[in-house]
Structure 1
Amino acid sequence: MTDHTLSAVEARDAWVEHPLGKLFARVWTPTDTPASSDRAPIVLFHDSLGCVDLWRDFPGALSLATGREVIAYDRLGFGKSDPRGDMPAVDFVADEARRWFPAVRERFGLSRYIAFGHSVGGGMAVNCAAAEPDACVALITESAQAFPEERTLHSIAVAKEQFRDDSQRQRLVKYHGDKAEWVLHAWTDSWLDPAFHSWSLAPVLPKVRCPVLAIHGEYDEYGSSIHPEMITGLCGGVSQMELLADTHHVPHRERDGEVLALVSRFLASSP
């Protein structure tokens, strides 16, 4: 990304009120595209260890490339949002659409929106699109898991061991502060819980009616190409799958230009 990206996009912070705590959000608006206010904004759903700041400069570049407002928020317990006392329930992926995202929609007056989810955020975006077929005009998943594949669980177990190293944990503290330990357990304990192993997006995907773009890395250590194949194969709308060569779990960082071009083309005809 270039300095031009930053100068052509205005960013502002905001807070979303929820009965269980405040959620932190950031909004990027292209300053040289007046028509952006007429277009559905893009909402970013972060991954299991993610937060607004970990999207880095991608949201600003996405706003500039698409001419749309981009909104990212920290789920409760992550980033700058308030701490969360309980651990996520087994149905936490679907719970985002039921219990948390409605507050984001209300705060920003989102009568229509585009859902863009990375990793587990992709599953959450799928559930939001399925729950609100008239409001979600397009869905983009990036490195999303459709079920707990053996590769997924193995990589999470490996990561759990790696995070025993204090230097690894400090990476989480940098972005989540004293919530870092909760964030780590919310990820590893939820996915490695045997009760979660029957979870699948299969029942939800046919309820998605909007166009779908599923982006996935060829060498994604948290899921094979079976995931985007399942997402595009079962969704109820027109779908497109893009498997990026020589790419792992974070295409928007590894192949930012390619991802921006794919998303821009995909959204060119969206309202």
Structure 2
Amino acid sequence: MRTIEEHDVFLQLGDHQLFARSWIPSDPETGRHAPILLLHDSLGCVELWRSFPETLAAATGRRIVAYDRLGFGRSDPHPGRLGLDFVGEEGRSTVPQLCDRLGIGDFIACGHSVGGGMAVETAAQWPGRCRALVTIAAQAFVEDRTLEGIRVAQRDLEGPGNIARLARYHGDKTRWVIDAWIETWLSPAFASWTVDRPLAGVRCPVLAVHGELDEYGSARHPQRIAEGRGEALILPGIGHVPHREAEDVLVEAIAGFLSLLLPSGEKVSAGG
């Protein structure tokens, strides 16, 4: 069994600080492999990945890096509203700055839910650095099922107990986190959003994982993400959070997929 060390850091990016955590296996081969960068969902943060990063680090022998986006978790508050291009902006601007500050060259982009869209954008923007793309319960477009799931969650989140639970992770930023998610996705101006444009620029192998019972999106999402680029893996009986509902299954799938990557810096062919 590999021992996993955790390292926390606050990074100054422009006028704001972001919180990041690394899980590093005690394995001499770790440095030969591109680390995995985790991008969280619309209500997420580093802590809400729970045990998944450590388990993934142990299974793959790779460094795992997760961070709280601006406005989330232990990172600084967001100065305003999310822009309609917030998914693309994360991949274009924040990710490369974060990687440079953490000394990361090549990397694996792995995102959950909207973080999956950000991982797609990252892979498209940085084809020379992104070795592989993994999406978990990602949305590829705005689907009626996605919007209905958000409306149901909106009603549930009005309960004080749910807000208090989120506040354990986001503190006094919690109301902003909730509003940023709901108001952005339900906005008519966001209805035409898709990942089609960045998908056309993805040049690395792709694994798109999706739960059969995902309340925020049908199997059309992973199928669109993986089409002609890799594999769409549907997990039976699983909902929107595979890394908590079926951690071992998800880790095994990702580890098997990444085992096909060469440690030298060359990429395997898409779908290989």
What's 1:15 paired with?
10
In the alignment, which of 136, 140, 143 is matched to residue 137 of structure 2?
143
Equivalent residues in 2 for 1:54-65, closer than 5 Å: 54-65=48-59
Equivalent residues in 2 for 1:189-268, closer than 5 Å: 189-233=183-227, 238-268=229-259
| Residues 219-245 of structure 1: CA deviation (Å, up to 9, x unaligned) | 0000000000100116xxx40111000
| Residues 50-106 of structure 1: CA deviation (Å, up to 9, x unaligned) | 000000111001000000000000000000001112111011110101221122111
Residue 40 of structure 2 corresponds to residue 49 of structure 1: no
SS in 1 for 2:213: coil
Aligned length: 262
Moved more, 105-114 or 121-130: 105-114
Structure 1, unpaired ranges of 5+: none
SS in 2 for 1:14: strand
Using the size of structure 2 for normalisation, the TM-score is: 0.94
Distance between the aligned counterparts of 2:182 and 2:165, measured in 1? 16
Moved over 4 A (4+): none
SS in 2 for 1:17: strand
Using the size of structure 1 for normalisation, the TM-score is: 0.95
Identity %: 48
| Residues 179-219 of structure 1: CA deviation (Å, up to 9, x unaligned) | 00000011001100100000001111010000000000000
SS in 1 for 2:13: coil
Equivalent residues in 2 for 1:11-90, closer than 5 Å: 11-31=6-26, 33-90=27-84
The Cα of 1:258 is off from its aligned counterpart by 0.6
Q: Is the 8 A contact 1:24 1:80 kept in 2?
A: yes
- What value does the CA root-mean-square deviation take over the aligned residues? 1.1
What's 1:173 paired with?
167
Distance between the aligned counterparts of 2:15 and 2:153, measured in 1? 30
The Cα of 1:264 is off from its aligned counterpart by 0.7
The Cα of 1:133 is off from its aligned counterpart by 0.5
Distance between the aligned counterparts of 1:113 and 1:180, measured in 2? 30
Distance between the aligned counterparts of 2:15 and 2:163, measured in 1? 26
Structure 2, unpaired ranges of 5+: 264-272
What's 1:160 paired with?
154
Distance between the aligned counterparts of 2:156 and 2:74, measured in 1? 24
SS in 1 for 2:65: strand
Equivalent residues in 2 for 1:84-163, closer than 5 Å: 84-163=78-157
Moved more, 207-216 or 104-113: 104-113
